[in-house]
């Protein structure tokens, strides 16, 4: 077991691992504690998966669970009719278990990425379902304080920001190129009119032929941001008509897809991170804390919030100490840096 490889997407979809993270099943807790202990080489992967599950397990209302269960049953019935899968039966005794699975689906549909099936979307695009069934995904991820550049076999370059995950098929099919993103990445897509390039992120699907754009889709964000630098892209959000973006246009999509906002943006501001620049534009203190924790792999312990709530400025490949000096001077607070913890007074 020690040498067994771990796929992050398998962990995210494993009910036993989710129960371990939620501490809801003593047997699962004991099992995974032992397994993680036996696999120190995979400890980082387990940590990332657990953090994602905690971020995705937002508060779920009973109404959301009921809706998810109905959507799931409806999708399964239609899929059975079109694919010949065995019929699903839900005895009353299994209702509690299916409530739990439905709750998990609500959280993951909110992130709109983790489930490789995308059942409802595939019902309208059966060719994509058939392709996904045969696809084997490779996981690329970065931890806090780390960035990575990935070059795909078609020549596409993807700059992955800190604490982000990218799923890429081992082999692109003949008619389509698609990847899945949690976190933030800058894409420079090689043009191929015969094979559109799709990026699944939260509740959006961005389709391009060849262009460069940035997607910010961290699970804890209240919205997904797609910003086009060059070329032209189409963004699909649920059942709404596709939104076409032109250069220097960005689309912000709320997590529940209830709000869409198109706006102009400064490419240097949105994509500065890939060049090692931390840039804030009237950023709130909580927003800055999230960015700095991810950027420098530290944890903030805030005992008193600064009286000034917004900050604008940029730091070009500077140390955390220099960044804290600049921000603390502007926002008028004291800090203490001890190892990987930053104490704010």
Q: Give the model's pLDDT for residue 257.
A: 61
Q: Would you say 210 and 192 are in contact if contact means Cβ atoms under 8 Å apart?
A: yes
The CATH number given to whatever domain includes residue 242 is: 2.60.120.1440
160 and 41 in a single domain? The answer is no
> pLDDT per residue over 37-84, tens digit each?
888 888 888 888 887 776 555 444 444 444 444 444 444 443 344 334
Q: Is residue 2 part of a domain?
A: no
Q: Is residue 297 part of a domain?
A: yes
> pLDDT per residue over 214-237, tens digit each?
999 998 888 899 999 999 999 998
- pLDDT above 70 for 113: no
99 and 130 in a single domain? The answer is no
Q: Is residue 126 part of a domain?
A: yes
The tally of domains found in the chain comes to 4
Between CA 13 and CA 49 the distance in angstroms is 10
Report pTM: 0.59
318 and 219 in a single domain? The answer is no
Residue 138, CA distances (Å) to 165, 172, 280 in order: 10, 12, 33
180 and 202 in a single domain? The answer is yes
134 and 241 in a single domain? The answer is yes
Ranges 45-59, 143-157, 231-245, most confident = 143-157
Beta-bridged to residue 251, according to DSSP, are 226, 262
Burial tier of 245 (Cβ tally within 10 Å: 0-12, 13-18, 19+): buried
The CATH number given to whatever domain includes residue 315 is: 3.55.50.30
Closest CA to 204 of 71, 75, 113, 72: 113
Domain that holds residue 255: 122-269
128 and 264 in a single domain? The answer is yes
Q: Is residue 3 part of a domain?
A: no
Q: Give the model's pLDDT for residue 56.
A: 58
Q: Is residue 136 part of a domain?
A: yes
């Amino acid at each position: 077991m020690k040498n067994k490889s771990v796929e992050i997407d398998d962990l995210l979809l494993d009910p036993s691992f989710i129960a371990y993270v939620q501490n809801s099943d003593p047997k699962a807790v004991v099992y995974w504690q032992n397994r993680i202990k036996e696999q120190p080489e995979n400890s980082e992967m387990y940590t990332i998966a657990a953090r994602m599950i905690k971020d995705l397990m937002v508060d779920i209302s009973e109404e959301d669970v009921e809706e998810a269960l109905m959507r799931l049953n409806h999708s399964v019935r239609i899929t059975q009719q079109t694919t010949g899968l065995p019929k699903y039966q839900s005895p009353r005794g299994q209702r509690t278990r299916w409530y739990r699975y439905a709750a998990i689906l609500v959280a993951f549909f909110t992130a709109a990425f983790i489930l490789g099936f995308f059942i409802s979307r595939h019902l309208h695009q059966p060719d994509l379902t058939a392709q996904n069934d045969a696809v084997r995904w490779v996981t690329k991820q970065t931890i806090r304080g780390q960035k990575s550049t990935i070059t795909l076999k078609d020549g596409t370059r993807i700059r992955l920001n800190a604490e982000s995950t990218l799923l890429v098929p081992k082999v692109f099919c003949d008619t389509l190129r698609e990847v899945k993103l949690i976190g933030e990445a800058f894409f420079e897509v090689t043009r191929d009119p015969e094979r559109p390039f799709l990026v699944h992120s939260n509740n959006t699907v961005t389709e391009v032929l060849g262009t460069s754009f940035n997607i910010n889709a961290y699970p804890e964000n209240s919205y997904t941001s797609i910003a086009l630098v060059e070329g032209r892209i189409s963004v699909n959000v649920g059942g709404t008509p596709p939104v076409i973006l032109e250069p220097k246009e960005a689309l912000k999509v709320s997590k529940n897809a209830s709000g869409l906002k198109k706006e102009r943006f400064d490419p240097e501001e949105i994509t500065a991170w890939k060049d090692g620049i931390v840039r804030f534009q009237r950023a709130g203190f909580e927003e800055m804390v999230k960015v700095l924790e991810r950027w420098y792999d530290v944890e903030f312990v805030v005992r008193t919030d600064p009286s000034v709530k917004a900050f604008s400025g940029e730091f070009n490949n500077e140390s955390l100490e220099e960044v804290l000096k600049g921000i603390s001077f502007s926002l008028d607070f004291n800090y203490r840096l001890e190892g990987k913890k930053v104490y704010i007074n």
